[in-house]
C-alpha cells in the first residue's frame, strides 16, 4: 500500500511539472493582437525598420510580446511586457565591430566551432552579454560572454 501511495505522489509531481513546463510557450500573433501600450512601443522601436513579425510569450506566468525587426540589414528582436516596457533587446552585430576582448572571449568559448552570428543582449537598458551562434559540424549551439568578453557566472 505504501508503494502505491509513493507511486501516486510521484505521478502527481510529474503531472504538475509537465503542466508548469507547458505553460511557458511562444505563439505567433498579428499586430492587431498586441495591447495598445505594446503597439505604441513597437511604433517607436520600429522607426526605420521592417517589421518581420510578432509573438506572445508566457514565461514563468508572465506575458511578454516580441517584435522581430530588420534594421539596416540586421535582425533586432524587442521583448516587451504587457505595459509596453522594453525588457530585452537582441540585436545582431558585426563580429569585427566588437571590442577585441569580446571577440577573443567568443572565439575561446567557440573552440573549434565557427561563429556564424553574434547578437548584443540588452536587458532593461543595460548591455549584459554578447550571444553567438556556433556551428560545429552539423551541430549548432549558442554561447555567451559578458560585455567585457569574460565568461558569465550564469546565462542571460
Residue 9, pLDDT > 70, answer no
pLDDT band at 52 (very low <50, low <70, confident <90, very high): very high
pTM of the model: 0.80
In sequence order, the β-bridge partners of residue 92 are: 119
> Among candidates 56, 79, 84, which has minimal Cα distance to 69?
79
> Among candidates 154, 145, 153, which has minimal Cα distance to 99?
145
The Cα–Cα gap between 132 and 119 comes to: 6
pLDDT band at 20 (very low <50, low <70, confident <90, very high): very low
Using one digit for the tens of pLDDT, what is the confidence trace for 57-87? 999 899 999 999 999 999 999 999 999 999 9
The Cα–Cα gap between 108 and 105 comes to: 5
According to the model, what pLDDT value does residue 4 have?
A: 44
Domain spans, the chain: 23-89, 94-156
Phi then psi for residue 46, to 5 deg, are: -90, 5
According to the model, what pLDDT value does residue 150 have?
A: 96
Phi then psi for residue 112, to 5 deg, are: -80, -5
Q: Across all residues in the chain, what is the average pLDDT?
A: 88
Q: Going by DSSP bridges, is the β-strand pair 114-123/86-93 parallel, antiparallel, or unpaired? A: antiparallel
Tell me what the mean pLDDT of segment 46-51 comes to.
Answer: 94
Among 3.10.450.360, 3.30.2310.20, 3.40.50.1370, 3.30.565.10, name the CATH number for the domain at 23-89.
3.10.450.360
Amino acid at each position: 500500500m505504501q508503494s502505491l501511495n509513493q507511486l501516486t505522489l510521484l505521478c502527481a509531481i510529474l503531472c504538475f511539472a509537465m503542466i508548469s513546463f507547458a505553460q511557458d510557450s511562444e505563439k505567433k500573433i498579428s499586430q492587431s493582437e498586441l495591447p495598445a501600450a505594446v503597439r505604441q512601443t513597437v511604433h517607436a522601436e520600429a522607426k526605420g525598420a521592417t517589421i518581420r513579425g510578432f509573438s506572445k510569450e508566457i514565461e514563468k506566468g508572465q506575458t511578454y510580446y516580441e517584435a522581430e525587426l530588420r534594421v539596416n540589414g540586421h535582425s533586432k528582436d524587442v521583448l516587451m511586457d504587457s505595459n509596453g516596457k522594453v525588457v530585452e533587446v537582441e540585436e545582431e552585430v558585426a563580429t569585427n565591430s566588437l571590442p577585441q576582448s569580446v571577440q577573443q572571449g567568443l572565439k575561446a568559448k567557440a573552440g573549434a566551432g565557427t561563429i556564424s552570428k553574434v547578437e548584443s543582449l540588452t536587458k532593461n537598458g543595460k548591455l549584459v552579454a554578447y550571444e553567438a551562434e556556433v556551428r560545429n559540424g552539423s551541430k549548432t549551439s549558442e554561447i555567451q560572454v559578458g560585455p567585457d568578453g569574460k565568461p558569465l557566472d550564469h546565462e542571460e
